[in-house]
């Protein structure tokens, strides 16, 4: 269960109504990076140091940055981002995320998730990331 960080969780007992929706969550298509995207991602990754705190967005470039980082020997990253993407999931799965950081130490912090069905399954019922 996710702990309450800054009071942003609501216990089920405080909910008056619950509506289930039977449609699939919106997913992002698997976007193949262009040669320019690959070049940008490589240049960014050259500047990322071990134990850096990372923020990710949407698109081929951030996904490629995460892919490259999963293959490099460095890690110990913290995640403090607006969006959890498939790339963030891959970094966690590769053991590259420790979330040792000054703010919300030990936790991946994000506002929303958007990606593949695999990402949503990974997040569903997951302990704190």
- Give catalytic residue positions: 82
Q: State the Cα–Cα distance between residues 129 and 126, nearest whole angstrom.
A: 7
What φ, ψ does residue 83 adopt, rounded to 5°? -125, 130
Residues with Cβ within 8 Å of residue 2, at least 6 apart in sequence: 9, 128
The 8-class DSSP code of residue 129 comes to: -
């Amino acid at each position: 269960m996710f702990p309450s960080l800054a009071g942003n969780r609501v216990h089920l007992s405080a909910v008056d109504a619950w509506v289930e929706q039977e449609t699939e969550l919106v997913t992002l298509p698997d976007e193949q990076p262009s040669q320019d995207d690959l070049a940008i991602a490589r240049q960014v990754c050259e500047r990322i140091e071990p134990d850096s705190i990372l923020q990710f967005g949407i698109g081929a470039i951030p996904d490629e940055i995460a892919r490259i980082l999963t293959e490099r020997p460095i890690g110990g990253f913290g995640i403090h981002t607006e969006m959890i993407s498939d790339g963030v999931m891959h970094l966690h799965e590769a053991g590259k995320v420790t979330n040792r950081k000054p703010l919300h130490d030990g936790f991946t912090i994000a506002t929303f998730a958007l990606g593949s069905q695999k990402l949503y399954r990974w997040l569903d019922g997951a302990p704190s990331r």
